[in-house]
Amino acid sequence: MDRNIASGRARSADFWNAGEEALPSLPAELKTGLWLSGGEALVLVVLLSFGFWAAIWGAVALLAAGR
For every residue of 37-65, DSSP letters joined together read -HHHHHHHHHHHHHHHHHHHHHHHHHHHH
- In which band, very low, low, confident or very high, does the pLDDT at 23 lie, cut at 50, 70 and 90? low
| Average pLDDT of the chain, as a whole number | 76
pLDDT at 15 exceeding the cut of 90: no
Give the number of domains in the chain: 1
Rounded distance, CA 13 to CA 19, Å? 11
What is the chain's Cα-based Rg? Answer: 23
Q: What's the pLDDT score for residue 10?
A: 53
Predicted TM-score (pTM) above 0.75: no
36-59 per-position pLDDT tens digit:
898 999 999 999 999 999 999 999
Q: What's the pLDDT score for residue 35?
A: 82
Q: Which domain holds residue 19?
A: 5-27+36-65
